[in-house]
Structure 1
Amino acid sequence: MIDFSITDEQKALRDLAKDFAKNEMIPKAEHHDHTGEYPKEILKKAFDVGLMNMHIPVEYGGSGLGVLDELIASEELFYGCSGMATAILANNLALAPVLLGADDYVMKKFVQPMTETFTLAAYAVTEPGAGSDVAGIRTTAKRVGDEYIINGSKMWITNAGHADWFFVLAKTDPNAGHKGMTGFIVDAKTPGIIIGKKEKNMGQRCSDTRGVTFEDVKVPKENMIGKEGEGFKIAMGAFDKTRPAVAIGAVGVARSALDHSIRYANTRNAFGKPISVNQGVSFMIAEMARDIEAGRLLCWQSAWLIDNGFRNTYQASIAKVFCADMAMRVTTDAVQIFGGYGFNEEYPVEKLMRDAKIFQIYEGTSQIQRVIISKFLNDGVGIETPNA
């Protein structure tokens, strides 16, 4: 049986996120975009109302929500402001590998307190010379007694300047390729951690993105996530849960662009009539709506699969690449519909276009998603049996 309805609990979560976006995010989005100021107070409010750390299991004090639950809320948050939403939901990316591989000690020491106190975490995997090629990371973790000594540099780390802890992927065996990588939780107060300057990005300007350097950083062996050599597998497995959430973020941005375009097209007159009645404009808007609906369904499918115990790597990559490219196209069309006003900072769609671009880059570029999809198809995975 196929059922696209959502539960009363999911409707309540959606309404909570929708109201939060309307009342807390949208009124301040322009300010934070222009200033780049980190929206910490808004994040604290999101924590207070239960819109952060949604996946922490019930046995550790969390709500234990699934990926589809997160998507339903996330679309509304990204509709409000994708820079703020990225900051709000960055904890989910840092938590994903921890929830996959951590033992009870780590869960109680680092994860359970996040349900009680406002805490920020960061996923530190990307490096200056290793983005899509995760196997090319150079950060090392050398075992010395009961500790690991971490040395290396990470780049483009979201929430780095405000994080209380990092999930760090490092090489414990530099000669073993991806099988020589191990994940660790590293307390941000540990001596030897150097936080870089806040990067001035094209879009999502209030999201805090920085480089992080580790110089002889000592980490207790108890902070290891999983076993030695399992880090790559755990880090990549986390993407099956986080890529659908990134993809739905692109849907939220595109939906905002669509709504702005409809309102503008219905009030902007040219040649004695609203431009919305012109086929050239109305067809652009219709195609926006078509692709947003398709993107949402792709996201929901990939989330449903992982929530129900099926592997969703193939579907998550399809959702990610489709929605990322779709958001870029939709926001570009929104700027076109606004004409000269769309190219001006006083109108909202230029921000949406700038914000949309990162979806084609972070958490796996659109090109990498195509590589993943092609590999599955070449290996004989059929699109007609997505849940097998």
Structure 2
Amino acid sequence: MTWYTLPGFKHIICLAAGLILPGSFGDLVVAGGAAQDLLTAQEKSGKQIYVHGTSSGGREILAYLGESSLEVPGRTMPCANCHGLDGQGNPEGGVVPSNLTWEALTKPYGVTHPGGRTHPPYTDRALARAITRGLDPAGNKLLNVMPHYQLSQEDLGDLVAYLKQLGKDRDPGLTENSITIGTTIPARADLAGIGQAIKAVTTAFFEEVNSRGGIYNRKIELKINETSYPPKTTSAIVKRFIQDKQIFAMTSAFTAGADKELAALMDNLHVPLIGPLTLYPQGGLPLNRHVFYILSGIDGQARALVNFACQRMPDKRAGVLIVYSDDQMTKGVLEAIKDQCQKNGCGPPETYSYPHADSDVPTFAARLKQTSKSVIFFLGTGREAIALMKEATELR
């Protein structure tokens, strides 16, 4: 985005699509431990129950809490909330949840709890009874703060299978010595320059990180996915790339044109995406916990430019003109400018739509020269902006 003042013209602000600056990659905090093989399908389903309290098969899971057996959806009280992702337990409010790792549950000499309750080692059947009836292997009631659950036999078997891996399960892409980070860049002709710029900057950054010892003594292994396919197929390609290359996290990925699909993919795979390069960050509620935007996107930048322009206008009554191409890409920016103009007392702005391919630049520039508006916002491509500026200079 650029602010221009040309002789014979009012202020022209060009918001040229396609001009994106790569984001930076912040410190990555990684838990210790060696990477493990991928979980089986059954263990993955069990992990979903443990972490989210939901069934991969869409079956209902209910939780019952306290002596009154208050019924709530299982997703409101997943196991991981109290026992932690590693199963070690998160003490809270004077309550110390039990260690749920299989090694702790199956100690051959049994377990003695801080309150004096004792019981023999857990078996698969005893663990299932604890989950569904709230009883330990000796028949003692578990603490009142520990819910018991109603779930199908299939889901129960999945959960028990995952609990045997709890504490051993690590994210892919981690070893004792390395962290595998991925990015995806465009390779097709019209975007190849942007793709190579992203590749060069990202590669140089991680080479510098590695030269300083890496992250927690782990070196970064950067994997780059270069694709020439259209945006509608990007999600499937990136999914295969993440799974085949065992990617721990993605960064500086070019997501323009496939933003919604890739954001949903990262959330589904539970893979962090840091600093995606896009004109339109996917905000709104509920927030996606796996996508971290560093750049505000063109909508946010447009609002900032409106604030700047309105502050410099000698007379806000002179108003604003928005020149835009009538396509889906500019609609969000157009509405953002209109809204921000109103908030700054510069609106409502006048709008003028032009077609990309058929635009007659000399005629277009001459028409803009006749406007009485104090500020003109131009929404178009970089090439169109340059042509307009050149023609505007010749008309002075």
Same fold (TM over 0.5): no
Larger RCO of the pair (alpha carbons < 8 Å, separation 6+): 2
Higher helix fraction: Structure 1 or Structure 2? 1
TM superposition score normalised by structure 1 = 0.25
TM superposition score normalised by structure 2 = 0.25
